[in-house]
């Protein structure tokens, strides 16, 4: 990588660090996913999974289809 690309990646890393404090941003979502993955390493994989599916009748996505 050239010097400009290294500087751009360094700036992007700092922006993502700041953006992780903004609720709902992509960086905060990535931070939460990383925290959940770290729980898997600490506690092990979950033995019980919950899947929540919205009702098709009330889902705006399926009403458009």
pTM above 0.85, yes or no: no
Give the model confidence (pLDDT) of 39-48 as tens digits.
988 988 877 7
Map out the domains of the chain as residue ranges: 3-64
Strands annotated E in the chain: none
The average pLDDT across 3-30 equals: 88
Structure tokens at 25: 């941003």
In the block, residue with structure tokens 């925290």: 35
Average pLDDT over residues 4-30: 88
DSSP state of 38: H
Q: Is the pLDDT reported for residue 23 higher than 90?
A: no
């Amino acid at each position: 990588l050239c010097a400009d690309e290294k500087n751009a990646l360094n700036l992007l890393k700092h922006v993502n660090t700041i953006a992780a404090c903004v609720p709902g941003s992509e960086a905060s979502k990535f931070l939460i996913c990383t925290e959940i993955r770290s729980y898997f390493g600490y506690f092990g994989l979950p033995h019980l999974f919950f899947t929540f599916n919205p009702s098709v009748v009330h889902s705006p996505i399926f009403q458009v289809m």
